[in-house]
Amino acid sequence: MATFSHYAYQGVHNMATHILVDTANTFFRARHVVRGDLDTKVGMALHITLSGVKKAWQDFDADHVVFCLEGRSWRKDFYEPYKRNRQVARDKMTVTESEEDKVFWEIFDEFKDFVTTKTNCTVMRHPQLEADDLIAGWVQAHPNDNHVIISTDGDFAQLIAPNCKQYNGVSNTTITHEGYFTDKGDAVIDKKTKEAKPAPHPDFMLFEKCMRGDTSDNVFSAYPGVRKKGTKNKVGLIEAYEDKGTKGYNWNNMMLQRWTDHEGDEHRVLDDYTRNVTLCDLTAQPADIREIINNSIAENATPKEVSQVGMRLMKFCAKWDMQRIADQAATFAEPLQARYPL
CATH number at 80 reads 3.40.50.1010
Please indicate, yes or no, whether residues 50 and 173 belong to a single structural domain of this protein: yes
Please indicate, yes or no, whether residues 188 and 218 belong to a single structural domain of this protein: no
Total domains present in the chain: 2
Q: Please state the pTM of the whole predicted model.
A: 0.92
CA distances from 266 to 38, 81, 236, 261, 272 (A): 48, 17, 21, 7, 11
Please indicate, yes or no, whether residues 30 and 178 belong to a single structural domain of this protein: yes
Please indicate, yes or no, whether residues 171 and 236 belong to a single structural domain of this protein: no
Instruction: Identify whether 5 is part of a domain.
Output: no
Write out the DSSP string of 35-57: -S-HHHHHHHHHHHHHHHHHHHH
Q: What is the pLDDT of residues 203-235, one digit of tens each?
A: 999 999 999 999 999 999 999 999 999 998 899
Please indicate, yes or no, whether residues 189 and 51 belong to a single structural domain of this protein: yes
Instruction: Identify whether 294 is part of a domain.
Output: no
Each residue's pLDDT expressed in tens, for the chain with a length of 342 residues: 333 333 333 333 368 999 999 999 999 987 777 888 888 888 889 999 999 999 999 999 999 999 999 999 999 999 999 999 988 888 899 998 899 899 999 999 999 999 999 999 999 999 999 999 999 999 999 999 999 999 999 999 999 999 999 999 888 999 999 999 998 899 999 999 999 999 999 999 999 999 999 999 999 999 999 999 999 889 999 999 999 999 999 999 999 999 999 999 999 999 999 999 999 999 999 999 999 999 999 999 999 999 999 999 999 999 998 999 999 999 999 999 999 998
Please indicate, yes or no, whether residues 184 and 244 belong to a single structural domain of this protein: no
* Separation CA 236–CA 254 (nearest Å): 8
Q: Which has the closest alpha carbon to 156: 26, 338, 17?
A: 26
Q: What is the pLDDT of residues 131-164, one digit of tens each?
A: 999 999 999 999 999 999 999 999 999 999 999 9
* Separation CA 82–CA 132 (nearest Å): 15
Please indicate, yes or no, whether residues 88 and 229 belong to a single structural domain of this protein: no
Instruction: Identify whether 51 is part of a domain.
Output: yes
Please indicate, yes or no, whether residues 214 and 98 belong to a single structural domain of this protein: no
Instruction: Identify whether 342 is part of a domain.
Output: no
Q: Which has the closest alpha carbon to 86: 41, 39, 169, 28?
A: 28
* Separation CA 319–CA 106 (nearest Å): 14
* Separation CA 169–CA 26 (nearest Å): 8
Please indicate, yes or no, whether residues 109 and 42 belong to a single structural domain of this protein: yes
Domain residue limits at 52: 17-200+302-337
* Separation CA 289–CA 259 (nearest Å): 31
Please indicate, yes or no, whether residues 194 and 255 belong to a single structural domain of this protein: no
Please indicate, yes or no, whether residues 211 and 136 belong to a single structural domain of this protein: no
Instruction: Identify whether 104 is part of a domain.
Output: yes
Please indicate, yes or no, whether residues 91 and 137 belong to a single structural domain of this protein: yes
Number of H helices, E strands in the chain: 15, 9
